[in-house]
Amino acid sequence: MSTPVAHRYDFVYFFEVTDGNPNGDPDAGNLPRVDPETNQGLVTDVCLKRKVRNYVAEVKANEPGYKIYVREKAVLNHQHDLAYKALDLKPESKKLPKDEAKAREITSWMCANFFDIRTFGAVMTTEVNSGQVRGPIQLTFSRSLDPVVSAEFAITRCAVTNEKEADKERTIGRKFNVPYGLYRCHGFLNASLAGDTSFTEDDLELFKEALNNMFETDRSAARGMMAPVRCYAFRHEKKTGNARADQLFNHVKAALRPEVVAENRPPRSRADYDIHIEGTLPEGVTLEEWVTA
């Protein structure tokens, strides 16, 4: 395995949705998430992390070091038990071993064997305690550049569940749809934490690969057409960084093209937007493109 990532990164990730619901809100009947004051669409950080996890689980299935900790129907205590068994230790209820070296060994084993723990971190203080990990990569909520309109459609089902319902009117359901939205997400890679979790250059390459391809393994009618559009990453020479993240993000400009504004029409594709870097970057910061249009 390669060496831990030694440089800080701040990145801006753009993705689009066409005729789909990118992240339904279960507290609102699965309506697309929106900012109630601006009507801009929202996608949670955990939604994107879920897609990264699913992609890694598919492309790295059964490979050592690439287990997924947070997955559907996973029993976390059973996941923690794996570390204790591998290290021939007996867990105490809700406690790490009193020997600090052994406690660190358990947490390190979890990092080494679970990709999402060494990437995003985890709180593993359940009945079988495996410690806490701060992950080097963190994401913000994604926000659409412009307001989105959430359309609602009624659907019917021609089949029935049982014979008693055969002569009844068919079930009516609801589907929600965002005609188009271009979303912007901000991300951060902390090199010091990468050293703590042993998040390596190989792991970073896999993460970039996931940003490019994670929607391909997550297709559904409900999510419509989702695709990556662009990802600009700022690489710092210093481990602790050469500039503030917000200053770097201000160099990334994304707005409707003038002709779209002049025609007073809503955006319906990535071609309706201009995304570019503006201005001179601070000394010690270089630009990388992890995803290109």
Model pLDDT for residues 255-285, shown as the tens digit of each residue: 999 999 999 999 999 999 999 999 999 999 9
Q: Which residues contact 78 (CB under 8 A, 6 or more apart)?
A: none
pLDDT digits (tens, 9 = 90+) for 177-220: 999 999 999 999 999 999 999 999 999 999 999 999 999 999 99
* Number of alpha carbons in the 13 Å side-chain half-sphere of residue 209: 15
Q: Residue 152's pLDDT band (boundaries 50, 70, 90)?
A: confident
Q: What percent of the chain has pLDDT over 90?
A: 86
Q: Residue 171's pLDDT band (boundaries 50, 70, 90)?
A: low
Q: Residue 252's pLDDT band (boundaries 50, 70, 90)?
A: very high
Report, as an integer, the average pLDDT of 154-181.
79
More confident of the two residues 1 and 97? 97
- The closest of 117, 126, 110, 144 to 41, measured between CA atoms, is 144
Contact 242, 236 (CB under 8 A): yes
Instruction: Count other Cβ atoms within 10 Å, centred on residue 85.
Output: 11
All structural domains of the chain with their residue ranges:
9-291
Predicted confidence at residue 169, as pLDDT, reads: 66
Would you tell me the crossing angle of helices 201-213 and 45-59 to the nearest 10 degrees?
A: 110
Contact 178, 22 (CB under 8 A): yes
Find where tokens 């109630």 sit: 36
| Residue 156 clears pLDDT 90, i.e. is over it | no
